[in-house]
Structure 1
Amino acid sequence: MSYMQISQKFYDAFKHCSFSHKSPHIARKLHAQLILSGLDTSLFLLNNLLNMYSKCGLIHDAFQVFQETYHRNIFTWNTMINALVNSGRMNEAENLFDEMPVRVKDSVSWTTMISGYTQNGFHARSIETFSLMLRESNNRGGNYDPFSFTSVMKACGSLGDSQLALQLHDLVVKLGFGMETCIQNSLVGMYVKCGNIDLVETVFFDIERPSFIPNFMTYGSVLSACASISDLKWGAHLHARIFRMEHSLDLVLGNGLIDMYAKCGCLGLAKLVFLGIL
């Protein structure tokens, strides 16, 4: 077989192991076969080997491959940082991110760190990293990813920082992200968690932006936020809107309503939703 054919076979095997088997034994066996083939110098295959180890939860093995990869590219760095973030090793991820050459960092690198801090409960650190990203991006001509904004909005909502919420809203509009569905959903969820119900209604019903049509993700995001702060008034208001606007409840929305009513102390209403009466 040619070099390209063998590379393709390894790539397919790594991918299959990553998403189907997720077996440490198979992953290590494939690594050994790669070494025996003499193709363990291929950056393309090493990057996919690193990705396979991370998907299998073998972070130590992944890091060994990373350390032994001398000509790293952006995929190598981002895959390793993402593996550390997903395993909750934020200190190690932060150290690696700081070692990363500035010229190599891209929007994926920044978003991975920002979302990682948010997911692991380091909300203030998420906002600090977001601010640093803005400064670095401005110096390099701007390189923004809408998903970094959705992550920092979650952090802002968790902290209940209304002033920052307004600043983030202004910024996404200025950068032209205001019509992105993921941004609109995040704005609504952030304002609910910050207790800015009037602003939630502004985002939800702004007649100057008729293209904003709330979807199931929007409703789910707001219901989750209402449940987290036990806001029965806005939760019930949203339920009424869903009843008017949607033909039926899907499983996610139904569960969201039950969870919201239960956390607001209205077990009777939660039961009625469960029974399909309300």
Structure 2
Amino acid sequence: MGVRLDDHTFPFVLKACADNLSVQKGREIHGVVFKLGFDSDVFVGNTLLLFYGNCGTLKDVKRVFDEMPERDAVSWNSIIGVFSVRGFYAEAIHLFCEMNLRSGFRPNMTGLDSQVTVGNALVDVYGKCGYVEDSRRVFDEISERNGVSWNAIITSLAYLERNHDALEMFRLMIDGGVKPNSVTLSSTLPVLIGEKNIVSWNAMVANLAQNRLESAAVDLVRQMQADGEIPNSVTFTNVLPACARIGFLRPGKEIHARAIRIGSSVDLFVSNALTDMYAKCGCLNLARKVFTISLRDEVSYNILIIGYSQTTDCSESLSLFLEMGRIKGMKLDVVSYMGVISACANLAALKQGKEVHGLAVRKHLHTQLFIANSLLDFYIKCGRIDLAGKVFHQIPRRDTASWNSMILGYGMLGELTIAIDLFEAMKEDGVEYDSVSSLIQLFMFENRIQRFILRKSA
């Protein structure tokens, strides 16, 4: 296409590979970097360090670093940061000392948001090492504290069982107008005085589950039972989504059995949570059994409609969708339509998908963004880019997913010129890129690279 590659091209595309953990693509780009002689550029080298660091291939990080003919402060900061984040603390400290003693560079603030970031880290490290006075001194010296600063000092004090001081800092945080978040609460709750009860247990289970500490939430439910506390429906509705998120089937079954023993399985919220847990663990047969014997609402149906749409038994989504529509009082909502349209897309069931589309039009839901985007995906997978285009032009306010679908649709058909034109129109429309957009850019870049190499070898 006549576009010349330079040292600014590779950092851009390597960042896209890093953001999407596209290791193989990144290695291919690295090969092109080496072939075209850009491996000696420090800017490109730093981007390669970050790419391999993001992908977790530390041997490649060290190899790139060792082979760099020129390094700057960013190079040293990058490799120290990568080893530290990945838990190789001794190596990170060794590299820090080598930088300080032999490289000619001195520690600086490159790569850190601001001075407050360093202060927060010092508060945390002094607290974990037991130096509470030093932790508090650093905290007091931070001129512009943020939520992380307060969480660091509260966590440090709680860790050292300075419960009164931790609660006092929590009070000062509130008085200072800083809003506590889930991390604050998880640090503060354990230091509260008084006997644990079902409310406090449930609060901690919910806090752990909502903060992506799924294993800890499950362990806490076991611990509360070992301590003689009987879980209730609130406990189950808090912990079951945690099991669903990480595919904890066996603990989920244990919780199901416990819910049956105490009679909570008849609760609509618990049965929906159980259905969702089994569906997300890939056990649609067990999810359907819970669904069949339980009370049902729109959520119950939507869980299975979505669940079946992601399996080879997609036709069940369509059956449940139609059944839901026939039941008096049941309302087909956005989730229902998204699930059944996805099922039709996976089945390439053009006729049924068109019928669902027609129903959405009659209900005036066809221009709703999520439904419209699902229709785009459906028509593209069915090979009807013409119908996808009609849906696309009817969307009043398109988002990134809308544009990505059309660009990828034309790209898969080999219509690269139209795809590129759409990409440019997306930029002109002011739509922000996401990871898929970056992959599209990578796809276009790859095509340009291939054409460039072909021209060079011709």
State the match for 2:251 in structure 1: 61
Work out the CA distance in 1 between the residues paired with 2:241 and 2:368. Answer: 29
Instruction: For 1:1-278, list aligned pairs within 5 A.
Output: 6-18=197-209, 19-23=211-215, 27-34=218-225, 36-40=227-231, 42-55=232-245, 57-69=247-259, 70-71=263-264, 72-100=266-294, 104-136=295-327, 140-206=328-394, 212-223=396-407, 230-233=412-415, 236-247=417-428, 249-256=433-440, 258=442, 268-269=447-448
Q: Check whether the contact 1:118–1:126 (CA below 8 A) recurs between aligned residues.
A: yes
Matching residue of 2:165: none
Q: Indicate the structure whose relative CO is greater, using CA pairs within 8 Å and at least 6 residues apart.
A: 1
Aligned residues: 251
The C-alpha deviation readout for 1:168-201, integer Å capped at 9, x for no partner, is 1111122232231101111111111122222212
Alpha-carbon deviation of 1:64? 2.9
Separation of aligned partners in 2, 1:270 and 1:97:
53
Aligned 8 A contact 1:17 1:27 in 2: no
Q: Is the deviation greater in 119-128 or in 165-174?
A: 119-128
Gaps in structure 2 of 5+ consecutive residues? 1-192, 452-458
User: Could you tell me how far apart the structure 2 residues matched to 1:223 and 1:148 are?
Assistant: 26
Amino acid of the structure 1 residue aligned with 2:290: L
Provide closer, same or farther for how the CA distance between residues 252 and 270 of structure 1 changes in structure 2, counting only shifts above 3 A: farther
Change (3 A) 1:126 1:11: same
Instruction: Determine helix, strand or coil for the equivalent of 2:212.
Output: helix
Distance in 2 (CA, whole Å) between partners of 1:115 and 1:74 is 19
Which blocks of at least 5 consecutive residues in structure 1 are unaligned? 273-278
For 1:165 and 1:177, the matched residues in 2 are separated by 14
State the distance in 2 between where 1:237 and 1:84 align: 43
**Structure 2 residue aligned with 1:276:** none
C-alpha spacing 1:35/1:174, structure 2 compared with 1 (3 Å)? farther
State whether residues 51 and 62 of structure 1, in contact with CA within 8 Å, keep that contact through their aligned partners in structure 2.
no
CA RMSD of aligned residues (A): 3.0
In 2, the alpha carbon distance for the partners of 1:49 and 1:221 equals: 36
Letter in 2 for 1:159: L
Deviation at 1:98, TM superposition (A): 1.8
Q: Secondary structure at the match of 1:246?
A: helix
From the superposition, tell whether residues 225 and 75 of structure 1 become closer, same or farther in structure 2 (CA, over 3 Å): farther
Question: 1:226, CA displacement in angstroms?
Answer: 5.7
Contact 2:410 2:418 in 1 (8 A): no
1:157 to 1:84, Cα distance in 2 relative to 1, 3 A: same
C-alpha displacement at 1:82, in angstroms? 0.8
TM-score, normalised to structure 2's length?
A: 0.49
1:254-278 residue CA offsets vs partner (Å, 9 max, x unmatched): 314545x69xxxx524868xxxxxx
More divergent stretch after superposition (197-206 vs 45-54)? 45-54
What are the superposed Cα offsets for residues 144-186 of structure 1, whole Å, 9 maximum, x if unpaired? 2211211111121222222222211111122232231101111
Per mean C-alpha deviation after superposition, the further-off stretch among 180-189 and 67-76 is 67-76
CA displacement at 1:218 relative to structure 2: 1.2
What amino acid is aligned across from residue 229 of structure 2 in structure 1?
A: G
Q: CA deviation at 1:39?
A: 3.9
- Determine the structure 1 residue equivalent to 2:171: none
Structure number with greater Rg is: 2
Return the offset for 1:237. Answer: 2.4
Aligned residue identity for 2:355: Q
* Distance in 2 separating the partners of 1:153 and 1:146: 11
For 1:84-110, what per-residue CA distance to the aligned partner results, in whole angstroms no more than 9, with x for missing partners?
11111112112222222xxx2112111
- Code of the residue aligned with 1:84 in structure 2: it is Y
Question: Distance between the aligned counterparts of 1:236 and 1:8, measured in 2?
Answer: 61
Q: Give the deviation of 1:43 after TM superposition.
A: 2.2
Residue identity (%):
19
Q: Distance between the aligned counterparts of 2:435 and 2:449, measured in 1?
A: 14
The amino acid of 1:21's aligned partner reads L
- Cα distance in 1, alignment partners of residues 439 and 281 from structure 2: 28
| Distance in 1 (alpha carbons) for counterparts of 2:225 and 2:352 | 50
Displacement of 1:80 in angstroms is 0.7
